[in-house]
Every structure is written in C-alpha cells, then in structure tokens.
Amino acid sequence: MRLGVLAAADSWYLRDLQRAAAGRCQIVPAGFSRLTAHTDGGDRWRITSDQVELHGLDAVLVRTMPPGSLEQVVFRMDCLARLEAQGVCVVNPPKSLEAAVDKYLSSAKLTAAGITTPPTLVCQTTEDAMAGFRQLGGDVVVKPVFGGEGRGLMRIEDEALAGRVFRTLEGIGAVLYLQRFIPHHGYDIRLFVLGEQVLGMRRLNPHDWRTNVSRGASTEAFAVDENLAYLARTAAAAVGAVIAGVDVLPALDGTIYVLEVNAVPGWKALGPTLGMDVAAMILDYLAGIVGRRSTSFDLSTKM
C-alpha cells in the first residue's frame, strides 16, 4: 500500500506512521500548502503536492487541518473531494472534515442524530449573545467555531465580562458560539473510533476545567462498554468520519454529553496510555479498506 499522509513535515504523527509502516507499506508525505490541481482540458484533474501524484496513491490520510484564508481552505477541500470523486480512498472523507471542523455544523449533525450535546447558542451579535448568556444560565463556555485542543475556550460567569468579550468577538467578525457550562467530575473521556473499534482514555485535570492533554491533563485507560462504543460510532457516523476522536463528558447529574467530534484525532497520549501501537492499527485499518475496494473493483470489472 502506498499511503499519502497530509501532514506537516515535522509532524510527530507523520514520524510515528513512518515508524509503524517500516517493511509493510510506503508512506508518502504531502503538504496542504503545496496542493496543486492540473487539467489538460480532459475530464480528469491531476492533484499533486510537492510533485507527488496523489491520485496515483492507494489512499490519502489527512493528518492536519492547517489555518488559511477562506479561498485556501475551500480549494484544499475541493482538491480532496476531487480525489475522492476520482476513486482515491480519502480518510477522513472531505465532507466529514468540513463538518467536524465547523462546531456549529457538527453540533447540528449530532443533534439531528439524536445525540445529547450541551445546550448551545450560535449567533453574530452582542445583543443576541447576551440574551443567550442569560438563557443558558449565566455560566457559559465560549468557543471559536473553528479551533481545537482547548485553544480559545473561555468560561464566563460574569455578565459584564460577557458583554466585553462578545463585543470584542463581534468587532472582529467572529461567530459567537456559546454552550452551557456542564458541572462534571473533573474529567472527560476521549473515545477513539477506528471503524467499528472504539478505544477509551480518561482525561483528568484537577487544576483546570478544560481536560485537554495539551493543557496539562493526565490520562488513564478507560474500559469502553457497549453503550459508549455505540454512542461513539453514532457520533462519528453523524459527521461521516471513519476515524474520529469523540469527546464525551459525564455530568454530575449522570447525563452523558458529546462535546465534539474530531475528524483528525491524535494518538500521542492514547497509545502510551493504553499500551497500544495506534499508528500500526490505523495502517492495518486503511490496508483493509484498500483491500476491500480493490476486491470490489476486480469483481465489478469481471461482471
């Protein structure tokens, strides 16, 4: 298998995949900023990155979602969609990446699938945000619509502070995304979905309400029961992802909330916590997908 990996050249995840791939498959690094589309006027586009012909690979694994202008982001997603349309196995599919990176769209898809999420208000003006702040109980978490790893999150309990924050965000043209703060036990659960398999890790932070490992949270293995596994698979399917990090928060009242679905989930903490070679598991999973697609293609051409 020749696997293209869209990742930063110095990415830990790229190095870990290269380690796990030794002797079993070829890892072909590629960068989002070097994506180029070519056509000679025919019905097929050549998508390259650093002169690598991505449509000639068996699969492309997206391992990063770098920031960029609106035009750049749309073009990059369009390139992935064109690859998928031309028969390349793209993981995760472009539509799932678009849904997961957009917190509003992701929340909408989760609630449409019947999944419990924190009460949420998304708006564009300070006036509407202040009304939402009061409706949500005067204790909210403000999140950037695009963002991850706990960056840009603020818990606001003071009405005057809320007004200042909302005016600042409105002034820079931001969409205001507010969720009711959910009292919890000081931990959340990262459920790592890999097809039908679900791995679990508890993340604890006694010093911060945010439980991201990048914020100093500690981790421990978590045994995933069938109910949580089903919830994780359902949440991943809601955004169309086959590999996903589903963040689940058990509230003090016993309610289980899904906070978000990450379609480019990391495993730097997960692997050592569980004592598993997650990179190797991902390669095995992708090889299985490629093998099934090849078999299906062979059968269709013989019929």
Q: What digits encode the pLDDT tens for the residues 168-201?
A: 999 999 999 999 999 999 899 999 999 999 999 9
Report yes or no: 19 and 50 within 8 Å, Cβ to Cβ: no
Beta strand 46-49 with 52-53 is antiparallel
Query: Do 154 and 164 touch, CB atoms closer than 8 A?
Result: no
Residue 126 or residue 299, greater confidence: 126
* Residues 6+ positions from 296 with CB-CB distance below 8 Å: none
Q: Tokens representing 76?
A: 């990059």
Residue limits of CATH 3.40.50.20 in the chain:
2-91
Burial of 30 (0-12, 13-18, 19+ CB in 10 A): buried
Is this prediction's pTM over 0.95? Answer: no
Q: Candidates 1.10.287.610, 3.30.1490.20, 3.30.1220.10, 3.40.190.10; correct CATH number of 120-180?
A: 3.30.1490.20
Please state which of the four CATH numbers 3.30.70.1290, 3.40.50.20, 3.30.360.10, 3.40.50.1000 is assigned to the domain occupying 2-91: 3.40.50.20
Q: Where in the chain is the domain with CATH 3.30.1490.20?
A: 120-180
pLDDT at 299: 42
255 neighbors 249 (Cβ within 8 angstroms): no
Strands 89-91 and 52-53: unpaired
Q: What is the pLDDT of residues 239-290, one digit of tens each?
A: 999 999 999 999 999 999 999 999 999 999 999 999 999 999 999 999 999 9
Q: Within the chain, which residue ranges are assigned CATH 3.30.470.20? A: 184-266
Closest alpha carbon to 285 in 243, 230, 225, 247: 243
Q: What is the pLDDT of residues 89-136, one digit of tens each?
A: 999 999 999 999 999 999 999 999 999 999 999 999 999 999 999 999
- Mean pLDDT, the chain, rounded, equals 92
Cβ partners under 8 Å of residue 105, min gap 6: 98, 99
Superfamily of domain 184-266: ATP-grasp fold, B domain (3.30.470.20)
pLDDT at 215 over 80: no
Q: In what order do the strands lie in the sheet with 120-123?
A: 120-123, 176-180, 140-143, 154-156
